[in-house]
Amino acid sequence: MKSVLLTGATGFLGLRLENYLKSNHFNVTSLSRSSKSNVVCDISKFKPIFIKSFDTVIHAAGKAHSTPKNEIEEQEFYDINVKGTDNLLRGLEKVSLPKEFVFISSVSVYGLDSGKLINEEAPLLAKDPYGLSKIAAEQLVSNWCTQNKVICTILRLPLLVGENAPGNLGAMVNAINKGYYFNIAGGTAKKSMILAKDVAKLILLVAPSGGVYNLTDGIHPNFKSLSAVIADSKNKNPPLNLPLILVKILGFVGDFLGNKAPINTLKIKKITSNLTFDDSKARNLFKFKPESVLDYLKKNEI
């Protein structure tokens, strides 16, 4: 039975990875700050202590994308995503090294607010604390794997979808439920996303080969389609639309108010711009055929 160490096992993606691995008869050791894990450790502060080695390590722990409100929150990205990764690698050096290491990264490393079918060869231009922390962690993992002859896989993920999804999708679902979600400028902006369950499926295929991969559902739905499907699943009316000129005015007001405002010009630009990523590398090499997010949402509640 293949032995797997999974970090971030209590997170949104980690829970689904653990369930999928166990259902496929992997011997999974979980690591997180929760007492529910096999190895309890805050790797942002301490090196974990392992009493056995692992065939594969899946490093899914990390501080998720958010806008830091102060220097303390900015530092947390470094402490958790970079220092935490370094502590994990140092801990693994105390036992027999794994054959494979899979790092869960983000398309945020590209540092783009707009673009069409961006591939893995695009430069890493992130300037925000989250994107920079993911770039630094990728480099740590890649260098460590090269030095130790460990097969290295980096998965750059967009918006994750599934039951009880956190972040922007969770906020959208909550707003639709309460009746105060509005699309902006017709909701025509396309965004890449992928089901968490499909990420789990690919890991088993890609880990023995290694490489850097963007993952998406290949459909890149727009906000109008996504919100309409969610509203229908909740028996709510389709969301209304706010004209772009009105939203721009609200954005200018938000610019003046600063961090207290829920929206500003930059956020409006992001919401109304297409941002999609090319996943043809994973599809071609591993016959990766993820399910459409919209098809999934038509059949499942989130």
185: in domain:
no
228: in domain:
no
Structurally, the chain folds into a number of domains equal to 1
Domain range for 133: 3-162+193-216+278-286
All residues at 6 or more sequence positions from 106 whose CB lies less than 8 Å from its CB, including other chains: 65, 130, 131, 134, 156, 157, 158
141: in domain:
yes
Note down pLDDT in tens along the chain; length 302 residues: 799 999 999 999 999 999 999 999 999 999 999 988 999 999 999 999 999 999 999 999 999 877 767 788 889 999 999 999 999 999 999 999 999 999 999 999 999 999 999 999 999 999 999 999 999 999 999 999 999 999 999 999 999 999 988 888 888 999 999 988 999 989 999 999 999 999 999 998 999 999 999 999 999 999 999 999 999 999 998 898 988 888 888 888 888 777 666 678 888 888 899 999 999 999 999 999 999 999 999 998 78
234: in domain:
no
106: in domain:
yes
99: in domain:
yes
121: in domain:
yes
At 64, which CATH number?
3.40.50.720
